[in-house]
């Protein structure tokens, strides 16, 4: 793959996208409104790419991958010749609207403009723009160079051909695209994550289990299976005759439980309890170190998965 890709916004997610595309062979132009962010990002990129190399997750020397990423001083220079622009600026509707209006003016007509937004549907920032047919959401999971899912969420007016071209580009870059058939706030992953968090908060708030044990339910329970199959495939295999058999056996109980599942209001008292338990397990000054440990565990898991699929 040797297309030119533009990354707009060089924070946490912009940097991670740059690695995805540079690793796949693309030349990547990075722009940020804050020149300081661009200056800092080289060091961070080198560190992340070095970690990937240590886990055998890049096929080339780290310097070769890093050399494909070029910081540029203006938005116009970033967009020049790009087949895809991945936008990663701040998560507010006003900011997204402004940057997409500007990018739509500057980019060549067939350049795809994709947003990393976590929650905002594309119609919110593309409505009425002359190039609204090439604008969509492409929501990654942090960091996309380790977690391949990308949620493609077009607006009602996004052209199916643009979505197909984007799907092909992300797939060739090693990502795993899924398509939303219609718009919804939070797309798929964050809605499912939100449902799990809501229930975990309620179970904690109502005194059923500790923070540590609720985390274990995922880490030592559901999460093991979820790293290679989803909930539908899980229930298909958990009754002798598949999904309908499973639903016949357990559906009424799940429904009864769902009737009692209320929205949690994320109130400060409950959060203070969770914070206190987390800080007793992990002091605040060790958060950064633990995040690095998490990324390394994830790299080891991805390396293992690759070996298995080979």
Of 187 and 246, the one with the shorter C-beta distance to ligand NAD is 187
13 or 26: whose CB is closer to ligand NAD?
Answer: 13
Nearest Cα to Cα of residue 22 among 56, 80, 62, 54: 62
Closer to ligand NAD by Cβ: residue 166 or 235: 166
Min CB(144)–ligand NAD separation in Å: 8
CB of 141 to ligand NAD, least distance (A): 6
Phi-psi region of 9 (alpha: psi -120 to 50; beta: other; left: phi over 0): left
Nearest to 282 by CA among 297, 292, 270, 269: 292
Question: What is the closest distance, in whole angstroms, from the C-beta atom of residue 65 to ligand NAD in the complex?
Answer: 20
89: left (phi over 0), alpha (psi -120 to 50) or beta: beta
Read out DSSP for 112-170?
EEEE--SS--THHHHTT-TTGGGEEEEEE-SSTTTS-EEEEEE-TTS-HHHHHHHHHHH
Q: Which is nearer to ligand NAD, 60 or 91 (CB)?
A: 91
Residue placing its CB nearer to ligand NAD in the complex, 112 or 235? 112
In angstroms, what is the minimal distance from the CB of 6 to ligand NAD? 11
Structure tokens at 179: 């398509």
Which residue(s) pair with 145 in the sheet? none
- Distance from C-alpha of 29 to C-alpha of 77, rounded to nearest angstrom: 8
Nearer to ligand NAD, 103 or 200 (CB): 103
137 vs 214, beta carbon nearer ligand NAD: 137
Which of 205, 243, 196 shows the shortest CA–CA distance to 223? 196
Contact 107, 82 (CB under 8 A): yes
- Contact residues for ligand NAD (CB under 6 A)? 8-14, 32-34, 37, 88-91, 95, 99, 116-118, 139-140, 142
Determine phi and psi for 137, rounding to 5 degrees.
-95, 140
For 282, the 3-state DSSP assignment is: coil
Position closest to ligand NAD via CB: 11
Give the shortest CB-77-to-ligand NAD separation in angstroms: 12
Q: How far is the CB of 273 from ligand NAD (least distance, A)?
A: 25
Q: What's the closest the beta carbon of residue 48 comes to ligand NAD, in angstroms? A: 13
């Amino acid at each position: 793959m040797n297309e030119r890709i533009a990354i707009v916004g060089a924070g946490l997610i912009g940097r991670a996208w740059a690695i995805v595309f540079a690793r796949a062979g693309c030349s990547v132009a990075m722009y940020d409104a804050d020149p300081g962010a661009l200056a800092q990002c080289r060091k961070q990129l080198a560190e992340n790419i070095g970690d990937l190399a240590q886990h055998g997750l890049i096929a080339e020397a780290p310097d070769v991958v890093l050399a494909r990423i070029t910081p540029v001083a203006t938005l116009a220079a970033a967009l020049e010749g790009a087949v895809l622009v991945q936008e990663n600026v701040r998560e507010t509707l006003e900011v997204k609207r402004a940057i997409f209006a500007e990018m739509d003016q500057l980019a060549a007509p067939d350049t795809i403009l994709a947003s990393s937004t976590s929650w905002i549907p594309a119609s919110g920032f593309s409505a009425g723009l002359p190039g609204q047919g090439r604008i969509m959401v492409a929501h990654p999971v942090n960091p996309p160079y380790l977690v391949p899912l990308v949620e493609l969420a077009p607006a009602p007016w996004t052209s199916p051909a643009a979505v197909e071209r984007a799907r092909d580009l992300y797939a060739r870059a090693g990502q795993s695209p899924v398509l939303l058939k219609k718009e919804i706030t939070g797309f798929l992953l964050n809605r499912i994550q939100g449902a799990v968090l809501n229930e975990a908060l309620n179970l904690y708030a109502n005194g059923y289990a500790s923070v540590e044990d609720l985390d274990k339910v995922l880490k030592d329970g559901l999460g093991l299976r979820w790293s290679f199959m989803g909930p539908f495939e899980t229930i298909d295999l958990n009754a002798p005759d598949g999904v309908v058999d499973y639903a016949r056996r357990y559906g009424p109980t799940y429904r009864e439980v769902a009737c009692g599942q209320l929205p949690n209001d994320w109130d400060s008292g409950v959060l203070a309890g969770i914070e206190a338990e987390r800080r007793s397990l992990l002091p605040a000054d060790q958060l950064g170190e633990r995040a690095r440990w998490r990324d390394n565990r994830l790299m080891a898991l991805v390396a293992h998965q690759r070996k298995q699929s080979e």
